[in-house]
A = this chain, B = another copy of it.
Amino acid sequence: MNIGEISKRSGVPAKTIRYYEDIGLIKPERTPNGYRVFAEADLHRLSFLGRARKLGFSIEDCRNLIRLYEDETRASAEVRELAMNHLSRIEEKIAQLQNMRSSLVDVISDCAGDHRPDCAILERLAGPMT
């Protein structure tokens, strides 16, 4: 199967697949004319990658996840720890964004939002923050 087909079947864009080859995440064969040839195992791998990326795992995490997936002697604790670390990073981000959100809501609620130039948002940005 060549790149167009595996892209369709895995849902991973061809550009991204080439990039993944570049950084060593997949290693397709080549035909004599230089086209990449993918096996079923590559499809499986790409789908795995796609799902991990959708869960927000970094490329480095994905590399480790694949390594663990292919290591028959792995301890599930190691996978779990990786996932837990990722989870806490996500929770941190959520908390940051929620802080931003509440400051924003706060600031916006003070602004009339009409044709006049007085604007509490700009004043809050200009002056000291609460």
Contacts and interface: CB of A to CB of B under 8 A. Distances in A.
Interface of A: 44, 47-48, 51-52, 54-56, 65, 68-69, 71-77, 79-81, 83-84, 86-87, 90-91, 93-94, 97-98, 100-101, 103-105, 107-108, 111-122, 124-126, 129
A54 to B, nearest CB: 8
6 contacts: A44-B126, A76-B111, A77-B113, A77-B114, A80-B119, A87-B108
Interface of A is mostly: helix
Contact of A83 (B111, B115, B118): B111
Contacts of A117: 71-76
Number of copies of this protein chain within its complex: 2
Given A97-B93, A117-B73, A111 B79 contact: yes
A69 B122 contact: yes
A104 B80 CA distance: 10
A76 B108 contact: no
Given A65-B122, A86-B104, 14 more contacts: A55-B100, A56-B100, A69-B122, A75-B117, A76-B111, A80-B111, A80-B119, A83-B104, A83-B121, A84-B108, A87-B104, A90-B100, A94-B97, A97-B97
A80 B52 contact: no
